Amino acid sequence: MECPECGANLTIPDDASVGEIISCPDCGADYEISKKDGSNVELKQAESVGEDWGE
């Protein structure tokens, strides 16, 4: 699968499950597996959660 951000090759393990986060080794973008049907995988941009430090 190709990284939507930079076009690098993303390797998705066979045992990956929906909701798992995949990071691009080249640009560092994080993607969440939104749908998986056999070898067909759909990714969506992972939500970034910042520190709230109790505020």
| Per-residue model confidence as pLDDT tens digits over 11-53 | 888 888 999 999 999 999 999 999 998 878 999 999 866 666 6
Task: Enter the pTM of the model.
Answer: 0.74
Between CA 49 and CA 9 the distance in angstroms is: 25
Instruction: Specify the pLDDT at position 8.
Output: 94
The average pLDDT across 4-13 equals 90
What are the residue boundaries of the structural domains of the chain, listed by start? Answer: 1-47
- Per DSSP, the three-state class of 30 is strand
**Higher-confidence position of 5 and 55:** 5
Q: Residue 40 has which token pair? A: 């067909």
Task: With beta carbons less than 8 A apart as the criterion, state whether 36 and 44 touch.
Answer: no
Q: Residue 38 has which token pair? A: 């056999």
For 53, residues 6+ apart whose C-beta sits below 8 A from its C-beta are none
DSSP, res 21: E
Instruction: Specify the pLDDT at position 14.
Output: 85
Q: Which CATH architecture has domain 1-47?
A: Single Sheet (2.20)
